[in-house]
Structure 1
Amino acid sequence: MVAVFSLNTTLIQANEQGVIRHPVAHSNVPVSAAVEVPASASLVYLSGKLPPLIDSSQPSDSPLAYGGNTKGQTVAVLTAIEKTLADLGLTLGDVIKMQVFLVGDPALDNKMDLAGFTEGYAMFFGAQAQSNLPARTLMQVSGLANKAFLVEIDVIAVRRN
């Protein structure tokens, strides 16, 4: 078992030019337990992204204007992050750390919609999308800049020099 883990780590390192992603033991959650970055790489910190306006026919303080529920807003935010990364010559595969802030959904008795977030996240990270998984922190917060926002995500990406 130790040899298999070492082999997997070596393969990951070889595939990512020195970035080592350590899987979470005994879990199928699409995140890394830890990510190591070589000294030869630089880190790119993206500011937190909120969902963009998607439906201007909705009131600006309605979640429907920004993708609706947590899943819709997660997809909108990750799409915006993907575009920002592309503008910088990077991809979601270069993301090594992600912080996720979820507001409690009024439709779920003000509890964060982890299932909705996970569905949206899985469209971008994991075996089906791409296999480079970031270390991730996910937390519920009491509110964001607009009461319609349910999701904010910030990421750190690595640029291999």
Structure 2
Amino acid sequence: MLRPTSRKILVAFSISATMISATYAAVNDVVRYAVANSSVPVAAAVEVPASASIVYLSGKLPPIQDSSQPLDSPLAYGGDTKGQTVAVLRAIELALSNIGLGLGDVVKMQVFLVGDPALDNRMDLKGFADGYAQFFGTDVQPNLPARTTLQVAGLANRGMRVEIDVVAVRRNE
């Protein structure tokens, strides 16, 4: 049986531990680790606190940009890889906005690129990077996701060159 003084100490300790835990949860945030010796705007790793919710956004394809073009032509979807990347990232930005999130909340990105016939059917990584750099690693949006970029044989439509899916974090307060 605890003496009255011991109970007071235990209650005080319990309250202090709860306050410390709550303070830690409030200041604990997503940690983005930089890629060493690199200027590539990608995180080497991203650490998400247990207090956050993970949101998986389904893959986005480029929406039609020019309906006067045949639907199986890359020109219908923004043309080259850069144009399609910008269109896809705008679609992702809108989808995230619709659920109360933004591109700064993205912690993981998977990019699927179809080979470009103009590049001997190799993926246009430069075109992708140029489009990507308009949305990530900027002064307005400096948060960088961890990222995987793959070349694939094809997507849902032969005119599409880019598909991107993302994982975002919702900070629970």
TM-score (norm 2): 0.82
Q: Which residue of structure 2 aligns with residue 145 of structure 1?
A: 156
Q: Which residue of structure 2 aligns with residue 35 of structure 1?
A: 46
Structure 2 runs not aligned, ≥5 long: 1-26
Where do 4+ consecutive residues of structure 1 move more than 3 Å? none
Distance (Å, rounded) in 2 between the aligned partners of 1:36 and 1:56 = 42
- For residue 87 of structure 1, the aligned residue among 98, 106, 109 is 98
Give the deviation of 1:17 after TM superposition: 5.0
CA contact (8 A) 1:122 1:129 kept: no
Q: Counterpart amino acid of 2:111?
A: V
Q: Which residue of structure 2 aligns with residue 59 of structure 1?
A: 70
Q: Counterpart amino acid of 2:154?
A: G
- For residue 49 of structure 1, the aligned residue among 60, 66, 70 is 60
Q: Counterpart amino acid of 2:109?
A: M
Q: Which residue of structure 1 aligns with residue 112 of structure 2?
A: 101
- Give secondary structure in 2 for the equivalent of 1:126: coil
Distance (Å, rounded) in 1 between the aligned partners of 2:80 and 2:49 = 38
CA contact (8 A) 1:101 1:139 kept: yes
Give the deviation of 1:82 after TM superposition: 0.1
Moved more, 120-129 or 75-84: 120-129
Q: Counterpart amino acid of 1:89?
A: G
Distance (Å, rounded) in 2 between the aligned partners of 1:152 and 1:129 = 24
Structure 1 runs not aligned, ≥5 long: 1-15
Q: Which residue of structure 2 aligns with residue 110 of structure 1?
A: 121
Q: Counterpart amino acid of 1:124?
A: F
Distance (Å, rounded) in 2 between the aligned partners of 1:75 and 1:66 = 10
CA-to-partner distance for each residue in 1:18-43, whole Å, 9 max, x for gaps?
A: 10000001101001000011111000
Give the deviation of 1:127 after TM superposition: 3.1
CA contact (8 A) 1:42 1:159 kept: yes
TM-score (norm 1): 0.88
- Give secondary structure in 1 for the equivalent of 2:83: helix
Change (3 A) 1:76 1:17: farther
How big is the alpha-carbon RMSD for the aligned residues of Structure 1 and Structure 2?
Answer: 1.1
Give the deviation of 1:108 after TM superposition: 1.1
Q: Report the identity percentage.
A: 73
Higher Rg: 2
Distance (Å, rounded) in 2 between the aligned partners of 1:22 and 1:108 = 33
